[in-house]
């Protein structure tokens, strides 16, 4: 299949519905801003594209002169010179193609890096709520498919439109000069090709859309079952025969749609070849009669047929140029949609570092309601974007409390009381909707995010480790840490003995989400990571809640080292924590309803006493005070 044929099929396979899509105002101007760093390369690229298009017409014209002026007059010298010139044009064409491909790659790959880097950085600055709503696959698609689609605006689409427009103008111009009668006769067949081609294009676009959906469904199924958690679920509850059957069914549908697309493409290309052959027959027929009558030279006839063979591919591509351009612009618009979503938690202009010294936390009449989905997410990134787009109800009401330097403050309350939300505000995963959270007198909204991350660290119930080595997971918190510092942190976290026994030691890969380690081992690695960071305030959703007794003891000892000399805010699940906390804050329905020590709160006989009876009374394991 010729390159022109492939371009025509690719163009017709695109969804023509984008032709009528309304782009956001300023999209085109914004797209051009991304071309500014590459304007020199783009100018050179377009110049070579035009030269390449001109060379397409040059060879048939030289063929005319070779026959009419060289072979028939028997001018051997001219034949040799023209033959050499044809060879030179071929060499020049090859060089032009190589250089233009190099320029295209430089422009395209450079643009992909620019867009991917910008989108990745912007996404990583979104609040946690963004990631709880957005589909991971949809986000990855924006960084891959849509970025590549946008890149094509400056490479394949731009070169295709310019090259085919210039080629089409030069080909038709040259044919009209050679014989306007034969040119018009050959163009009579164009509607016989373009009209069925449009219908075939709609069919191919529909099949291509269906194919993408089927492939996405197949990919999603593999992704869900190939990660550790999915594979474990399949091992426990799945039926291998059913899994095989369901996968085979989906794969078969992908196969069937692929066959249909291949057949339709073949029908299209056969039709393109047939119409071109019929047009050639018309030119040979009428042109041959004109040559017999002396109205046309043989060289002109051969040049016309050579030019005609190059006509239909560019003609089809140009007729669908708007679809190509709009498809690329829509990809840009989808990228811009992500870039235009402003992060709710952002660093304020003129932000200053967190004040030095031991941390004091002031919760100054804090209120919070989760923001509406439109402020934190995009409906196009969600599986279902209806029914819960409104703002959430108020979760925290007038929280007023102080955590003194070095204190261990425990949060206690029934499920849904607002404990996790409060710790999220202290770590500035969200900003309060009223009041303020202050560290050493500074509102968290006025401090730099980097200094806040250095001052505050969070340990969750389930520690997350990247699919990388133990060393890499530790260095994520402290990139400049030495091996000696890594060992010291691991010893303090009571996990160095384990790491030392591993065949690769610090370079052992922990697996997807750390699944090669036990829950207690992962928690101790996470605590070592915290120790390397050296925060002044630790926010802890108690890390021993879901561990067995042996692992709990090991992790608790690691936490003793982690909390020593630090201010701590802990969501309490264990009696050992609440008994020895300096202050216990009891939350209910988003309000602090009680505060005091364990003994004081028990003596009052309020909500804490009820929670103690129902949640903590069976917890007879009492460990020494955390952080002492």
Pairing status of strand 567-571 against strand 408-412: parallel
The pLDDT of residue 353 is: 92
Structure tokens at 551: 């692992």
User: Using CA atoms, how far apart are residues 332 and 119, in angstroms rounded to an integer?
Assistant: 12
Quote the pTM value: 0.72
Segment 513-538 mean pLDDT:
84
Pairing status of strand 361-369 against strand 394-403: antiparallel
Kindly tell me if the per-residue pLDDT of 76 is higher than 70: yes
* Contact in structure between 493 and 558 (CB atoms under 8 Å): yes
Residue 388 or 272, more confident:
272
Kindly tell me if the per-residue pLDDT of 547 is higher than 70: no
Residue 320: pLDDT band with limits 50, 70, 90: low
183-212 pLDDT, tens digit each: 888 777 777 666 666 677 667 767 776 776
* Contact in structure between 50 and 166 (CB atoms under 8 Å): yes
The pLDDT of residue 422 is: 93
Structure tokens at 60: 């048939």
Segment 546-556 mean pLDDT:
66
Residue 543: pLDDT band with limits 50, 70, 90: low
The pLDDT of residue 50 is: 87
User: Using CA atoms, how far apart are residues 624 and 563, in angstroms rounded to an integer?
Assistant: 13
The pLDDT of residue 254 is: 86
The pLDDT of residue 551 is: 65
Grouping H, G, I as helix, E, B as strand and the rest as coil, residue 570 is strand
Segment 492-504 mean pLDDT:
86
User: Using CA atoms, how far apart are residues 130 and 376, in angstroms rounded to an integer?
Assistant: 5
Structure tokens at 310: 């190059």
Residue 324: pLDDT band with limits 50, 70, 90: low
Kindly tell me if the per-residue pLDDT of 599 is higher than 80: yes
467-488 pLDDT, tens digit each: 889 999 999 888 889 989 999 9
Kindly tell me if the per-residue pLDDT of 592 is higher than 90: yes
Highest mean pLDDT among 217-221, 437-441, 501-505: 437-441
* Contact in structure between 499 and 506 (CB atoms under 8 Å): yes
- H-run or E-run covering 537: strand 537-541
Q: 484: burial class by Cβ within 10 Å (0-12, 13-18, 19+)?
A: exposed
C-alpha 555: how far from its chain's center? 36
Residue 236 or 185, more confident:
185
C-alpha 441: how far from its chain's center? 39
Residue 625: pLDDT band with limits 50, 70, 90: very low
Nearest 5°: CA angle at 301, between 299 and 305?
Answer: 115
Structure tokens at 222: 């593999």
3-state percent breakdown (helix, strand, coil) of the chain, nearest 5? 65, 10, 25
399-444 pLDDT, tens digit each: 999 999 999 999 998 888 889 899 989 999 889 999 999 999 999 9
The pLDDT of residue 425 is: 92
| Bridge partners for 595 per DSSP | 585
Structure tokens at 292: 């017999």
Burial per residue of 429-448, b for 16 or more beta-carbon CB atoms within 10 angstroms, e otherwise: bbbbbebbbbbbebbbbebe
- Give the rounded percent of residues in the chain with a pLDDT score beyond 70: 85
Closest by alpha carbon to 281, among 305, 312, 307, 299? 305
Domains of the chain in start order, with CATH, are: 3-339 (1.20.1560.10), 361-378+393-616 (3.40.50.300)
Mean per-residue pLDDT over the chain, rounded: 80
User: Using CA atoms, how far apart are residues 593 and 604, in angstroms rounded to an integer?
Assistant: 12
Which residues have a Cβ under 8 Å from the Cβ of 324 and sit 6 or more positions away? 11, 14, 157, 160, 161, 317
Residue 135 or 597, more confident:
597
Residue 176 or 10, more confident:
176
Question: How crowded is the C-beta side of 360, counted as CA atoms within 13 Å?
Answer: 10
User: Using CA atoms, how far apart are residues 366 and 435, in angstroms rounded to an integer?
Assistant: 4
Residue 546 or 620, more confident:
546
The pLDDT of residue 383 is: 57
Residue 228 or 601, more confident:
601
C-alpha 554: how far from its chain's center? 39
Nearest 5°: CA angle at 170, between 168 and 171?
Answer: 65
33-47 pLDDT, tens digit each: 888 888 898 899 889
| Bridge partners for 442 per DSSP | 439
Any idea which residue has 């991971």 for tokens?
136
Structure tokens at 605: 């006989």
The pLDDT of residue 394 is: 86
């Amino acid at each position: 299949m010729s390159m022109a044929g492939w371009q025509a099929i690719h163009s017709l396979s695109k969804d023509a519905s984008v032709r009528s899509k309304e782009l956001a105002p300023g999209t085109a101007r914004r797209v051009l801003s991304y071309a500014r760093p590459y304007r020199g390369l783009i100018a050179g690229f377009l110049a070579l594209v035009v030269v390449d298009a001109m060379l397409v017409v040059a060879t048939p014209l030289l063929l005319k002169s070779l026959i009419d002026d060289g072979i028939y007059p028997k001018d051997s010298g001219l034949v040799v010179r023209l033959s050499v010139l044809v060879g030179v044009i071929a060499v020049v064409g090859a060089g032009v193609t190589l250089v233009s491909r190099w320029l295209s790659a430089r422009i395209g790959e450079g643009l992909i890096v620019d867009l991917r880097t910008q989108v990745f950085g912007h996404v990583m600055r979104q609040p946690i709520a963004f990631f709880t709503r957005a589909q991971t696959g949809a986000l990855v698609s924006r960084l891959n498919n849509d970025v590549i689609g946008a890149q094509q605006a400056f490479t394949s689409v731009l070169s295709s439109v310019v090259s085919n427009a210039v080629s089409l103008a030069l080909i038709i111009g040259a044919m009209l000069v050679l014989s306007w009668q034969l040119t018009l006769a050959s163009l009579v067949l164009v509607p016989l090709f373009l009209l069925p081609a449009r219908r075939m294009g709609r069919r191919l676009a529909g099949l291509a859309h269906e194919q993408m959906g089927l492939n996405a469904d197949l990919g999603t199924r593999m992704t869900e079952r190939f990660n550790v958690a999915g594979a474990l679920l399949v091992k426990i509850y799945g039926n291998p025969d059913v899994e095989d059957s369901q996968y085979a069914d989906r794969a078969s549908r992908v196969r069937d749609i692929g066959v249909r697309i291949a057949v339709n493409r073949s029908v299209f290309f056969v039709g393109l070849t047939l119409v071109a052959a019929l047009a050639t027959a018309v030119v040979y027929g009428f042109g041959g009669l004109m040559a017999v009558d002396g109205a046309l030279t043989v060289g002109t006839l051969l040049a016309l047929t050579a030019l005609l063979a190059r006509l239909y591919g560019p003609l089809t591509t140009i007729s669908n140029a708007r679809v190509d351009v709009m498809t690329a612009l829509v990809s840009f618009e989808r990228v811009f949609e992500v870039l235009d979503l402003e992060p709710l938690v952002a660093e304020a202009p003129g932000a200053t570092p967190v004040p030095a010294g031991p941390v004091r936390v002031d919760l100054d009449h804090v209120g919070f309601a989760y923001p509406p989905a439109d402020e934190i997410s995009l409906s196009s990134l969600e599986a279902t974007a209806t029914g819960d787009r409104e703002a959430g109800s108020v979760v925290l009401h007038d929280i007023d409390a102080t955590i003194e330097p070095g204190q261990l403050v425990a949060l206690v309350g029934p499920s849904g009381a607002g404990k996790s939300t409060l710790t999220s505000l202290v770590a500035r995963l969200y900003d309060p909707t009223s009041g303020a959270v202050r560290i050493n007198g500074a509102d968290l909204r006025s401090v730099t995010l980097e200094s806040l991350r250095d001052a505050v660290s969070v340990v969750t119930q389930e520690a997350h480790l990247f699919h990388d080595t133990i060393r890499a997971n530790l260095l994520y918190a402290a990139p400049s840490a030495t091996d000696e510092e890594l060992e010291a942190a691991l010893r303090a976290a009571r996990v160095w003995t384990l790491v030392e026994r591993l065949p690769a030691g610090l370079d052992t890969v922990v697996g997807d989400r750390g699944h090669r380690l036990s829950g207690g081992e992962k928690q101790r690695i996470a605590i070592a990571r915290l120790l390397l960071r050296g925060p002044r305030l630790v926010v802890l959703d108690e890390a021993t809640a879901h561990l067995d007794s042996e692992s709990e003891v090991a992790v608790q000892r690691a936490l003793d080292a982690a909390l020593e000399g630090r201010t701590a805010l802990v969501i309490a699940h264990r009696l050992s924590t609440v008994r020895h906390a300096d202050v216990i804050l009891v939350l209910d329905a988003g309000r602090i309803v009680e505060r005091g020590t364990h003994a004081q709160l028990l003596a009052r006989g309020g909500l804490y006493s009820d929670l103690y009876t129902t949640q903590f009374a069976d917890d007879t394991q009492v460990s020494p005070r955390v952080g002492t």
